[in-house]
Structure 1
C-alpha cells in the first residue's frame, strides 16, 4: 500500500471510502435512514473542494493499493475545538476489507509526522464513544480529555476527545528519504518488496537525510521529471542501515543494505513537492 498526499483526482475514491466506512462502522449505532442517505457524489464534491482550497498547515493523505484504488484516508491540521491542543487529526477511514493490515497505524503516523513538520506541539482527535477505534487511540498513547454530544440523523451520540500533550514523542523515529522513479515503485507494489538496481550493483540502496535531499536531487537528478521520494521510517527497515560515505568524503549518507519492505514506507511524495527549488 502507498500512503501519499491526496490530489483532486482522488476525490471520488475518498468519497467512496468515507461513505462505505460510515455504513460498515456505524450500522446499528447511527440511524439507518441517515446511513442510507449518505451520498457519494455529495461527499466527492466536499472532498474535491477541500483539496482545492486546503490552507497551509492542513493535510489530507490517502492509502492506495497496488491497483490504484483508494482504500483509506486521513486528514489533519489546526484544532477546531476550544480544548487546549493546537493540532487535530480530523478524520481517518479505512475500508472494512482493508482493516487489519496496519493501514490505520501507517496513516496515523503519517498524519502525526506532518503535524510535527507543520509546527504543532500537541494534538487531539474526536471519536464516537462506541467506535472500536477508541482502543486504537489509547494504544497509541492518547488519553481521554473530554466529551461532547453530537446529533447525527436525529439521534444524540456521545463523542470522546483523545489527546496527546507532546506530539514530538510520537515522531522520534528517524526518517530518511530515497529518490526513485514511477516504474520502480509500481514494480515494488506488485512484488511486495522494493529493490533498487544499486542493491545488486553496489550492495546497498542510496538514501538521504532531509537536509541532504535537495543536494542529492540537484547532483544526480537534474531536470529528470516524474520522480518520487519514499519517506522511510529507519526503525522499520529490516535490512542493515549504515551512515557512511563510500567515495571518501566527509558527509555521511544513509545506505540500506537490503531491500525495503513496504511497512517501512511512511509516505510517498513527488520530488517536486519536497524539492520545489531543485535544478
Structure 2
C-alpha cells in the first residue's frame, strides 16, 4: 500500500478488492459522463448508468484483481474511492507487435482531478505490468479527450490512430506508447 501526501490530501493507493465494485462504478460513470459528454453520442451516454456499471464491475472485478490483469484504486482521506486504473496484457493485435502491456484505463473523479491521483494510478499500473515482465506498454484514448495531454506529459509517444464507430458516430482514437519504463521504476519502488 502506498501512502503519500499531495497538496495536504491523504492519498491511499492499493490493489482493488472484489468488494470495491460500487466505488469503482461510481467513478467510472462520473468520469465518462463528464469527460466524454462532447465525444460520445447522447444515447450511448444515457446507457452508461450507475446500475449498469455496478453490475458489470461486480461481475468483472474478481478477474481484474488477479494474475496478469490488475486494478488499483485511490482513496481520499475519508476512505472514498476517487479513482482507479486497470492494466494487463495488450489486447490490440496491431499494437501487440511492439507493446506487450496495456493500460486499459486511468480514471479520476472530476471533483478531484489535478491532485496527482492520475499520475500515481498510472505509475501503479506500470509497476504491475513490469512485475509481470512487460517491458513496453501502450494505451488507447479518444483523440479529443484532454487525457492526451496528460499522457504526452508522461512522455507517451503517439504511435497509432484508428477510427471506431460508437452509437452510429465515427470517432477517432489515438494510441500512446512507452518503449522505456525505467523512468517509472524509481517512482514505483515504494509499492513493492
TM-score bin (small chain): 0.7 to 0.9
Give the CA RMSD over aligned residues: 1.5
Deviation at 1:29, TM superposition (A): 1.8
Matches within 5 A, 1:80-99: 80-82=91-93, 83=95, 84-99=98-113
Q: Which has the larger radius of gyration?
A: 1
Q: Retained in 1: the 8 A contact 2:86–2:106? A: yes
> Under a length normalisation based on structure 1, what TM-score does the superposition of the two structures give?
0.61
| SS of match in other structure, 2:139 | strand
Deviation at 1:36, TM superposition (A): 1.9
Deviation at 1:152, TM superposition (A): 1.9
Q: Which residue of 2 aligns with 1:30?
A: 40
> Which of 115, 118, 124 pairs up with 1:101?
115
Q: Which residue of 1 aligns with 2:163?
A: 149
Matched, 1:130 2:144: yes
Deviation at 1:171, TM superposition (A): 1.2
> Under a length normalisation based on structure 2, what TM-score does the superposition of the two structures give?
0.87
Give the distance between the partners of 1:27 and 1:174, measured in 2 at CA.
33
4+ runs deviating over 3 angstroms: none
Classify 1:151/1:56 alpha carbon distance in 2 versus 1 (closer, same or farther; 3 Å): same
Give the distance between the partners of 1:120 and 1:153, measured in 2 at CA.
34
Matches within 5 A, 1:70-89: 70-82=81-93, 83=95, 84-89=98-103
Deviations 1:228-249 (A, max 9, x none): xxx3xxxxxxxxxxxxxxxxxx
Q: Which residue of 1 aligns with 2:75?
A: 64
Matched, 1:17 2:27: yes
Higher relative contact order (CA 8 A, sep 6+): 2
Matched, 1:47 2:85: no
Aligned length: 178
Deviation at 1:53, TM superposition (A): 2.4
Q: Which runs of 5+ in 2 are unaligned?
A: 1-10
Give the distance between the partners of 1:174 and 1:108, measured in 2 at CA.
10
Give the distance between the partners of 1:51 and 1:174, measured in 2 at CA.
23
